């Protein structure tokens, strides 16, 4: 509570720097404040409040204040759609989020039809931006992170035999599993076992017994924290001596009470880490830490910082366009080339996807450790 009070006090002081007589430019944020996705989503609202207040402290955009509209999608697809409809009804000129691919696809259908640009944060499924020309994303795609994970397993960890566990009730998991398998076998590796499970699966014993029988060295699980956490916890209780590897959806998993204090062979691909060695990331870390405290900074997931970058991209597009009209914002975003954000450098391709570097992190107890940067050039 004290952390939030401190951040609120700083934001109040910053907000006094902009004139409020002008009609505000409204930006909507669609994330989960409740439900499973809130574990990684909730702080996106705090980071965006911080970013909006900084913009307003500098005079706003085009002499107008920015107003943040916040919508809780409750971690479900249908609420993402209704949140997008509400954002349109309330006059949003730009939408940040959602984060999950299934949520982003639902919101994108509404916003494309309304002609309101949207930037998903961690929605890595390729289908998201294929909805239409008003839909952008701030993150890399599954094909790139699948390659990153496969190359890390093959070249850095020197594994040749992999098992893949797929949550078939989730499009993200199916897509990323396919990309990992394609890349790993392309390198010369062997996927010796593939198992399917559903989100509410609670018993992985038979699956892990097969992992042992097939002599897999690494298990790739492109799931979300709750199902993946359940699986790895059960594997550790069986004394399964394999390395686990995952994708960007694992980001908040180290904060879950899973009893992994002695586990170190757990790695995942993601979009940002507080120890990322770029000037823009270091500046964000310093400024946000000063406003919210180091303890809040430590709780941030990469998706929260992608939301901050999406806001900065929006602000840059408004300034470049000299307009807050949605079509002109869309056009200016599409022309973005070399924008340096906290999570990396943004240049959008024809499908409005950025080609960005990725990071490999290791989960050590209740913390994450920066392992390496994977550059997007040549991949």
Name the nearest CA neighbour of 255 among 16, 46, 40: 40
**pLDDT score recorded for residue 5:** 46
pLDDT in tens, 93-125: 999 999 998 999 999 999 999 999 999 999 998
Containing domain of residue 221, as a range? Answer: 142-270+360-374
Are 81 and 121 within one domain?
Answer: yes
**pLDDT score recorded for residue 368:** 87
Are 24 and 77 within one domain?
Answer: yes
pLDDT at 1 over 60: no
User: What CA–CA distance (Å, rounded) separates 158 from 213?
Assistant: 20
Are 197 and 119 within one domain?
Answer: no
Q: Give 253's pLDDT tier (boundaries 50, 70, 90).
A: confident
Are 120 and 228 within one domain?
Answer: no
Establish if 379 belongs to a structural domain: no
* Least reliable range by pLDDT among 158-162, 225-229, 242-246, 303-307: 225-229
Q: Which residues contact 351 (CB under 8 A, 6 or more apart)?
A: 129, 130
**pLDDT score recorded for residue 48:** 98
Task: Say which residue, 365 or 242, is predicted with more confidence.
Answer: 242
Are 39 and 52 within one domain?
Answer: yes
pLDDT in tens, 131-142: 999 999 999 999
Establish if 185 belongs to a structural domain: yes
Establish if 77 belongs to a structural domain: yes
Are 151 and 194 within one domain?
Answer: yes
Nearest-Å Rg of the Cα atoms of the chain is 20
Averaged pLDDT for residues 5-23:
53
Establish if 151 belongs to a structural domain: yes
Are 219 and 280 within one domain?
Answer: no
| CATH number for 233 | 3.40.50.2300
Backbone angles phi, psi at 116, to 5 degrees: -115, 120
Are 225 and 365 within one domain?
Answer: yes
Reported in sequence order, the residue ranges of the chain that DSSP labels E, i.e. its strands, are 25-31, 66-72, 94-96, 118-120, 135-137, 161-167, 190-197, 218-220, 243-246, 266-270, 337-341, 344-347, 358-364, 367-374
Establish if 249 belongs to a structural domain: yes
Are 135 and 75 within one domain?
Answer: yes
**pLDDT score recorded for residue 170:** 84
Average pLDDT, rounded, for the chain: 91
**pLDDT score recorded for residue 29:** 98
Are 152 and 219 within one domain?
Answer: yes
- Residue 154 Rama label (left phi>0; alpha psi -120 to 50; beta): alpha
Write down the pTM of the prediction: 0.86
**pLDDT score recorded for residue 17:** 46
pLDDT at 155 over 70: yes
Establish if 176 belongs to a structural domain: yes
pLDDT at 218 over 60: yes
Are 91 and 147 within one domain?
Answer: no
Q: In the chain, how many domains are there?
A: 2
Averaged pLDDT for residues 339-357:
95
Are 151 and 221 within one domain?
Answer: yes
């Amino acid at each position: 509570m004290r952390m939030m009070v401190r951040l609120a006090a700083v934001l109040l002081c910053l907000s006094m720097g902009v004139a409020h007589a002008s009609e505000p430019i409204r930006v909507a944020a669609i994330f989960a404040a409740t439900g499973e996705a809130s574990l990684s989503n909730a702080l996106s609202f705090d980071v965006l409040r911080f970013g909006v207040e900084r913009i307003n402290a500098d005079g706003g955009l085009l002499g107008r204040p920015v107003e943040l509209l916040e919508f809780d999608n409750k971690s479900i697809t249908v609420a993402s759609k209704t949140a997008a409809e509400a954002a349109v009804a309330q006059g949003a000129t730009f939408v940040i989020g959602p984060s999950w691919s299934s949520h982003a696809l639902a919101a994108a259908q509404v916003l494309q039809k309304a002609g309101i640009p949207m930037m998903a944060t961690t929605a890595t499924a390729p289908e998201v931006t294929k909805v239409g020309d008003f839909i952008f994303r701030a993150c890399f795609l599954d094909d790139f992170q699948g390659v990153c994970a496969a190359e890390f397993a093959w070249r850095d960890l020197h594994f040749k035999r992999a098992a893949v566990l797929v949550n078939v009730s989730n499009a993200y998991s199916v897509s990323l599993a396919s990309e990992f398998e394609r890349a790993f076998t392309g390198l010369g590796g062997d996927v010796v076992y593939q198992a399917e499970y559903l989100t509410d699966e609670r018993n992985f014993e038979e699956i892990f017994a097969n992992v042992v029988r097939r002599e897999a060295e690494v298990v790739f699980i492109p799931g979300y924290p709750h199902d993946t956490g359940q699986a790895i916890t059960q594997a550790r209780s069986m004394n399964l001596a394999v390395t686990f590897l995952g994708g960007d959806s694992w980001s908040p998993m180290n904060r879950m009470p899973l009893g992994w204090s002695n586990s170190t062979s757990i790695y995942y691909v993601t979009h940002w880490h507080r120890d990322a060695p770029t000037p823009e990331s270091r500046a964000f870390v310093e400024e946000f830490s000063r406003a919210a405290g180091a303890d809040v900074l430590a709780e941030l997931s990469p998706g929260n910082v992608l939301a901050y970058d999406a806001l900065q991209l929006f602000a840059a597009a408004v300034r470049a366009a000299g307009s807050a009209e949605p079509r002109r914002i869309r056009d200016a975003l599409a022309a973005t080339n070399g924008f340096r954000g906290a999570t990396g450098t943004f240049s959008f391709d024809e499908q409005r996807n950025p080609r960005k570097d990725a990071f490999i992190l290791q989960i050590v107890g209740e913390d994450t450790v920066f392992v390496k940067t994977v550059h997007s050039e040549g991949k």
